[in-house]
Structure 1
């Protein structure tokens, strides 16, 4: 118990730290690493006190990122031999800043593995979608976040994040993790999420389009898009693509969003980034 009391002192609210200490869960995460890329590097974000890091360097070369300078000092001491022999490359700083300096976190293809703080999880996953060297994302996140990335069309949780995840590959929740597995325990259940990438996506215009489409999830998709595009043009496009006029954003397939985007943004027959005028009689009834 004394060890747990001391460990709690390392966790800071600033970085949203909850240290995973459950050995069974740590082993399950390592076992979940995709086996189709043996020899690939691993990038770990948020190494903490190194409990997962220790297991990762036993199966792969690891590039680790830790924003907390206090923890970096502990990691540097704990893994001195692994750092010296090249099994572990430790970077102390904000991983998003590292990403901003270049296109990738690694020099060759890698798997991203992390126990992500809830406050920054979504931003990190979305940035990994853009990294062409990132082959898969295996992360511990808040259950609600995992559901939004893994939801299918028709699910109430289906969102713009779901569309983006399906656009890069396949996503699924592997298992849940109870708060008691962490020190200190979070207030919510966590989930381990696996996103296997087929391709990368770096298209701010498409992301902006999805934000408009999902801005009011329970409204009709046509209503949401009408905030930016002329309703008359939208109705004709919906008919052309055989899309029901009363469909909701969460009921719409990912492939349909890509078709709509292509026509509205890339095709000059419909494309206009901002709606400048409405035709008479096109207001929402």
Structure 2
């Protein structure tokens, strides 16, 4: 399969922007943890990053686009035959439904489509075999994952990243490094995991806590929890009543959750989701 016009070949359906810069490809390789574990690559595209990865690691790649699978099978016939590359054609999220992405310890390395990047990273947090996440994402997303408490960008994603390990924004990538160039600035994000964290109820709690980032944290919590309970919890933890969501350390969110989680039931979560949808709908008017 010969691909002559990359811009025309890129699929809007799958959010494809192909990284064609050797400089940035090498920077990604250099940022990888140096331990020899297998690499899982999601969305290899035309295989530019894959080509560099198979030089240094055994790789399992997941590609949803059937046209690209045909190209990759042809382009990487030798590494596939030699066992250095395993190519899986299909939806990687379906593979994750059965548990871990791979049945052995691995590092996730990928140039992720923007529309699915956050979901992929959160899946990796929960995967007990995933040891780190090194991904190209929209800079705004990378900043949110890597932000520290006290910074304006500190968010629910920051808390989840800090709970699982350590997040670092490695470097930005200029738009001209891609074909076609994306409409946003990209960045490479590294998250080195200490634990695999999977608590959907905690994630729901964080959505409540950060529902309105500019409001007081207590006000966000009052949208779901009884005022007496919120006030008593803030007093017990010696938290200022005017604290904003981005000002609380990750440990504080775990303490708050432990105090409030017994009052977080399905009905309250449904109520909060309806309120969030209403705000989104009204914001679009």
TM-score when normalising by structure 2: 0.91
Contact 1:4 1:183 in 2 (8 A): no
CA distance in 1, matches of 2:185, 2:212: 26
**Cα 1:272/1:111, change in 2 over 3 Å:** closer
CA distance in 2, matches of 1:63, 1:129: 18
1:87 to 77, 84, 87: 84
CA distance in 1, matches of 2:8, 2:86: 26
- Is 1:26 the equivalent of 2:22? no
Deviation by residue 1:129-171 (Cα, 9 ceiling, x = unmatched): 1001000000000000001101111111111000000000000
In the TM superposition, what is the alpha-carbon distance from 1:107 to its structure 2 partner?
1.5
- Is 1:167 the equivalent of 2:166? no
- Secondary structure of 1:156's counterpart equals coil
RMSD: 1.3
After TM superposition, the structure 1 = structure 2 runs for residues 259-270 of structure 1, keeping only pairs within 5 Å, are 259-265=255-261
2:224 to 211, 228, 236: 228
- Is 1:130 the equivalent of 2:129? no
Post-superposition, which runs of at least 4 consecutive aligned residues in structure 1 deviate over 2 A?
271-275
Which structure 1 segments of 5+ residues have no match? 276-285
2:148 to 126, 146, 152: 152
Bigger radius of gyration: 1
CA distance in 2, matches of 1:88, 1:220: 50
- Secondary structure of 1:43's counterpart equals strand
CA distance in 1, matches of 2:115, 2:122: 13
TM-score when normalising by structure 1: 0.91
> Residue 56 of structure 2 aligns with which residue?
59
- Secondary structure of 2:73's counterpart equals helix
In the TM superposition, what is the alpha-carbon distance from 1:46 to its structure 2 partner?
0.5
1:250 to 246, 255, 266: 246
> Residue 202 of structure 1 aligns with which residue?
198
In the TM superposition, what is the alpha-carbon distance from 1:7 to its structure 2 partner?
1.4
- Is 1:178 the equivalent of 2:178? no
Which sits farther off after the overlay, 132-141 or 229-238? Answer: 229-238
CA distance in 1, matches of 2:8, 2:74: 19
Which structure 2 segments of 5+ residues have no match? 269-285
